[in-house]
Amino acid sequence: MSYSKQETPAPPHTKRVGYVYDVRMKYHQDLEDPQDPHPEDPRRIYWIYNILKVAGCLDIMKNVLVTPVTDDKILRVHERQYLETLKDTEIMERATLLETQKKYDSVFLCKESQYCARMSAGGLLALCKDVVRGKLDSGLAIIRPPGHHACSAVPMGFCLLNNIAITVRDLQARKMVNKVMIVDWDVHHGNGIQEVFYSDNTVLYASLHRYDEGEFYPSSTDGGMDMVGEGEGKGYNINIPWATAGVSDGDYIYAFKKLLLPVARQFCPDLIIVASGFDAAVCDPIGECDVTPECYACMTSMLKSVSNGKLVLSLEGGYNLDAIANSALACVKPLLNIKWKAGHIPQPAIYLAYATLSEEE
């Protein structure tokens, strides 16, 4: 794997963009068939780290140290019984681990999984704290396992702990933020995040995802347009469900300009966290969409214009190693005020989300 050195500006006097990366998060791995790498490959975080290093970005970014998230923070989001089960995996033998993971939907476990999940959530929390405190303007959390599918009582979809939900709840408990916007551009609906904040008017959750009439993972109607929140949270949950594969730059840019940015500015959050899956990227084998690095750069730039630039991207999915590396680099460039010069953003295509509406609606 090799990348050409890319032009970066001279290092500023103060590093204002942070990143989180810890090699120990690679220890979480699939025990079932070591010869057949799982899509949620431990190498994912290294490929992102390496392209940022080769491009010279890490030289002008601050490395934020990672500490594992503690029980009290986890229990603001997850049920104790599930946490205890996760803890038990540390002492399970291989056969028991394989049997335990079969109880859940699309999850793998090893003895190190619980520690890695704590590191993943703890890394995002540390980065967000530095941004909220004003030590940093923005940042990228290069973390795994991902989290946006993890529900309060069960893990699912490669996710063990809900990194973003744990982070938001801790920041709110410490009164470091009041309102937070979560933008989820992972190709899958973040059902776990939606579950946690569905009745909360202090958190605006917006997800752009493949829906396929509820057939695309996580294979439920929770990602439908009609799921807008309940109680005090009604109107604070926004789903933009794509009807099929092949969604591209124009669809995302159109959704951002016509819906997400106007709503974000009206909501006026203290912080924006992006559930930054790159599985809608061109060449991703699971997402089967066509979002380019230029589009990820453009969406990042647009979000910088909200919340006084306090923006943190948190890695979720993305299963083509080249695609996630290049997409992550594209997101970091605008954070560092490096222009993305290659390519262009195409004109909006048919807004596929409308295809999910029935004729009666």
Is 149 part of the annotated catalytic residue set?
A: yes
255: left (phi over 0), alpha (psi -120 to 50) or beta: alpha
Q: How far apart are CA 165 and CA 233, in angstroms?
A: 15
pLDDT band at 340 (very low <50, low <70, confident <90, very high): low
Q: How far apart are CA 228 and CA 279, in angstroms?
A: 24
Q: Tell me, letter by letter, the H, E, C secondary structure of the chain.
A: CCCCCCCCCCCCCCCCEEEECCHHHHHCCCCCCCCCCCCCCCHHHHHHHHHHHHCCCHHHCEECCCCCCCHHHHCCCCCHHHHHHHHHHHHCCHHHHHHHHCCCECCCCCCCHHHHHHHHHHHHHHHHHHHHCCCCCEEEECCCCCCCCCCCCCCECCECCCHHHHHHHHHHHCCCCCCEEEEECCCCCCHHHHHHHCCCCCEEEEEEEECHHHCCCCCCHHHCCCCCCCHHHCCCEEEEEECCCCCEHHHHHHHHHHHHHHHHHHHCCCEEEEEECCCCECCCCCCCCEECHHHHHHHHHHHHCCHHHCEEEEECCCCCHHHHHHHHHHHHHHHCCCCCCCCCCCCCCCCHHHHHCCCCC
pLDDT band at 36 (very low <50, low <70, confident <90, very high): confident
Residues of the chain above pLDDT 70, percent = 90
Distances (CA, A) of 71 to 33, 76, 78, 83, 161: 31, 9, 10, 8, 11
pTM of the model as a whole = 0.91
Give tens-digit pLDDT for 76-114: 999 999 999 999 999 999 999 999 999 999 999 999 999
Residues whose CB falls within 8 Å of the CB of residue 160, separated by 6 or more in sequence, listed in order? 86, 107, 113, 114, 117, 145, 147, 150
Are the CB atoms for 301 and 334 separated by under 8 Å? Answer: yes
Neighbours of 258 (CB within 10 A): 12
Both structure tokens of 118: 């704590």
Q: How far apart are CA 106 and CA 91, in angstroms?
A: 21
**Residue 341: what pLDDT?**
58
If one compares 339 and 240, the residue with the highest pLDDT of the two is: 240
Distances (CA, A) of 277 to 87, 103, 132, 133, 332: 27, 25, 22, 26, 14
Residue from 78, 149, 188, 189 carrying the catalytic annotation: 149
Give tens-digit pLDDT for 294-335: 999 999 999 999 989 999 999 999 999 999 999 999 999 999
Query: How much is the mean pLDDT over the chain?
Result: 91
Give tens-digit pLDDT for 233-288: 999 999 999 999 999 999 999 999 999 999 999 999 999 999 999 999 999 999 99
